[in-house]
Amino acid sequence: MIIIPAIDLKDGRCVRLRQGDMNAETVYSDDPVMMATQWEAQGAQRLHLVDLNGAVDGNPHHLNEIQTIVSTLRIPVEVGGGIRDLSTISTYLDMGVQWVILGTTAVMQPSIVQEACTRFPHHIIISLDVKDGYVASQGWLEQSTVTPRDVLNTLADCALAAVVFTDISRDGMKTGPNIDAIRDITVATNIPLIVSGGVSGIDDLRALKFKVPSITGVIVGKALYDGNLDLQNALEVLNPTFSSQPDSSTQLP
């Protein structure tokens, strides 16, 4: 299980939101590239980028910032937010993004996900952002009547790299991950699972590793930025063989 620091981009800055509310932001840096290099220097094996403006508007807003981050880092990067067509997917992959994350598209236009997996196998991740049992879309502003299992069943034959599961009610709240919901997803699919939402510190990471050992990674944001979780310490605790030197050859699902 790896820890994946998150950088949420809004208006060119690194922010964190509370439960996805665009009006409830905390700004952590005006320099997302510096923040990205900081996480790499501390031993991150992978970085999670989200274009928040893009997620709401349906088209990328931070291509330049993301291009600079990808060009600067040696570790792989995954990107989500506002990616709704094959052209945008291709743009990100061509600039060196390793994995493109599709959320709204997976719910509203699964055929695009299916085509993307055919053209770019194992470079597509779907994001299941869930509230009250149903998947949200449009930057979490709209709630569908589709369950996570519905989405997974529709895309069962796709060459997906991973699934990101986020419990919206816990995102940015540091109240602990939703272990029961995460277990349900692991039962529903054999696709590598990355979880997000609610991590408050090292004890939550230990609980995930012990109770849901099959998960591939955990995306962490607010706990890192607020200092409740030290990335290097967490990596050493969870992975005794951890080295702070990034390995650009690491291939992760």
Q: Which residues are catalytic?
A: 8, 129
d(CA 28, CA 39): 13
- Strand 162-167 and strand 142-143: pairing? unpaired
Residues near 201 by beta carbon (within 8 Å), at least 6 away in sequence: 174, 223, 228, 229
Could you tell me the two tokens for 23? 């009006």
- Of 116, 73, 124, the closest CA to residue 98 belongs to 124
Q: Is 172 exposed, middle or buried (0-12, 13-18, 19+ CB in 10 A)?
A: buried
CA angle in degrees (0–180, nearest 5) for 226-142-54: 60
Per DSSP, the three-state class of 220 is strand
CA angle in degrees (0–180, nearest 5) for 66-56-81: 35
CA distances in angstroms from 247 to 43, 45, 49, listed in the order given = 9, 7, 19
Residues near 180 by beta carbon (within 8 Å), at least 6 away in sequence: none
Cβ(140)–Cβ(20) under 8 Å? yes
